[in-house]
Chains A and B, each alone.
Chain A
Amino acid sequence: MPERFEGHITPITTLDKVAIFTLSLLMVVIGLFPAIMVPLVETGVNNILRLLGGL
């Protein structure tokens, strides 16, 4: 590690790993299976599009 970072970067902890894993897992799952979220969001967006005359 470059000397200028010594003392500034702390080791990663288990809780950090859990947090990063949680976020990454959600990202990957939604990316691979967009159907988890797309139909739901569509229902909300269609309402807005109707108001704006885009549907």
Chain B
Amino acid sequence: MNFPVLSIIVFSPIVAAMVILLIPAERKTEARGVALAAAIFALLLSLWAYLSYDKAAAGYQFMEQYNWLPQLGVSLHFGVDGISAPLVLLTGVVMFTGVLISWGDFGEHVSAGIQDRPREFFAFLFILASGVFGVFASLDLFMLFFFFEIAVFPMYLLIVIWGWDKTREYAAMKLTLYLFIGSVVALVGALAMYWVAGQNTGVYTFDLLQLEKAGFSASFQNLWFLPVFFGFAVLGGIWPFHNWSPDGHVAAPTAVSMFHAGVLMKLGAFAALRVGIMLLPEGAKYWSWVIMLSAGIAIVYGAFIAFVQTDLKYMIGFSSVWFRGRVPNLPGRVENPMAGGCDCQHFHYPDRRVRDDGYQPRILRQDAGKI
């Protein structure tokens, strides 16, 4: 079936957001209905893409490429591999359940969903979802960064308008500052890679598949790995740049908190992996001890801090910091085949990882959000 499934998955939430914004403000049920329909549509498509992935063939599949700015080497290049395909599905699931949780008025019950301006809420939520889908599917560094920013920006609005009124402004600003500063650092590294790859190969391109073959020198990789990795991994809640995360969890409305924990933090780790590790593997090996140290501290520190929390959402937030420490351990330990083999279990047994970080905390956050 040769149809642009990834483009549709990525852009359908934005189209849905625009449709929702055209609905009159007083027609809240219709806005919710359109949101639910769009979420179901994205979920079904992402499920189809997941089930259709050819494991035997492996590699990038469902590839699409459309020139965007050929003079700069920017193209809309989509493709998923074994890591991003489940993440696309995960985003679809979270989108669907997030819409259900945010439904708001429900007959005689007034649930903990979104009663105030659901139209705008779902529009911003879907812009966020579109950004997330885009990062997971993108094989162009410029577009990956573009979608990365699209995923960050709506978080500010969603938290500051619909969040917990005691801390929402503080948490939203803190989250935004951390993530934007991290992404600026990563952008500088990305531009450095673009420039040097162009000098090495004679072709200036942001295409990730071509950048993988750009032949970056070991010294270049050692120099730029840390800014690129940590710049993206800030969104993944890596210690010591994790502090925005628990405040964001507490202040965010339930569906946003579900997105935050279940998808957004994976986005950061994924981008760090896709750009930092896959493009700069020598740098990853050279700085593996830094990643391991950061991850180890996050694991211990996050656990202890989670223990002493009296607020359920803060406890979940810090437990996320703890778990985020486990994820970077993989590239940090891969030089030791034994350790790498053990740690590969996080990926080899994604059920545990998905249980521990993808779905279980999302359920906890959902329940915490109801309280």
Which A residues are within 8 Å of any B CB, using their own CB? Answer: 5, 8-16, 18-20, 22-24, 26-27, 30-31, 34, 37-49, 51-54
What is the CA–CA distance of A48 and B280 in the complex, to the nearest angstrom? 11
Closest to A14 in B: B106
Q: Are B110 and A41 in contact (CB under 8 A)?
A: no
Closest to A54 in B: B334
Determine whether B85 belongs to the interface, using a CB cutoff of 8 Å to chain A.
yes
Determine whether B301 belongs to the interface, using a CB cutoff of 8 Å to chain A.
no
**Given A11-B109, A37-B86, A53 and B370 contact (CB-CB distance below 8 Å):** no
Q: Are A37 and B350 in contact (CB under 8 A)?
A: yes
Q: Are A44 and B100 in contact (CB under 8 A)?
A: no
Determine whether B82 belongs to the interface, using a CB cutoff of 8 Å to chain A.
yes
Determine whether B207 belongs to the interface, using a CB cutoff of 8 Å to chain A.
no
Q: Are A52 and B86 in contact (CB under 8 A)?
A: no
Q: Are A19 and B344 in contact (CB under 8 A)?
A: no
Q: Are B360 and A27 in contact (CB under 8 A)?
A: yes
A34 → chain B, closest Cβ, in Å?
4
What is the CA–CA distance of A15 and B370 in the complex, to the nearest angstrom? 12
Interface of A is mostly: helix
Q: Are B82 and A45 in contact (CB under 8 A)?
A: yes
A45 → chain B, closest Cβ, in Å?
4
**Given A37-B86, A40-B55, A53-B285, A48 and B370 contact (CB-CB distance below 8 Å):** no
For residues 319 through 371 of chain B, which have their beta carbon under 8 Å from a beta carbon of chain A? 331, 334-335, 337, 340, 344, 347-352, 354-355, 359-360, 362-363, 366-367, 370-371
Determine whether B145 belongs to the interface, using a CB cutoff of 8 Å to chain A.
no
A20 → chain B, closest Cβ, in Å?
6
Partner of B363, one of A18, A24, A43: A24
Q: Are A27 and B355 in contact (CB under 8 A)?
A: yes
What is the CA–CA distance of A44 and B330 in the complex, to the nearest angstrom? 13
Q: Are A52 and B348 in contact (CB under 8 A)?
A: no
Partner of A47, one of B81, B96, B97, B100: B81
Closest to B107 in A: A13
Q: Are A48 and B277 in contact (CB under 8 A)?
A: yes
15 contacts between A and B (CB under 8 A): A5-B371, A10-B370, A11-B109, A12-B370, A13-B103, A15-B111, A19-B366, A38-B350, A39-B55, A45-B347, A46-B58, A48-B277, A48-B278, A51-B277, A52-B277
Determine whether B12 belongs to the interface, using a CB cutoff of 8 Å to chain A.
no
Q: Are B284 and A41 in contact (CB under 8 A)?
A: no
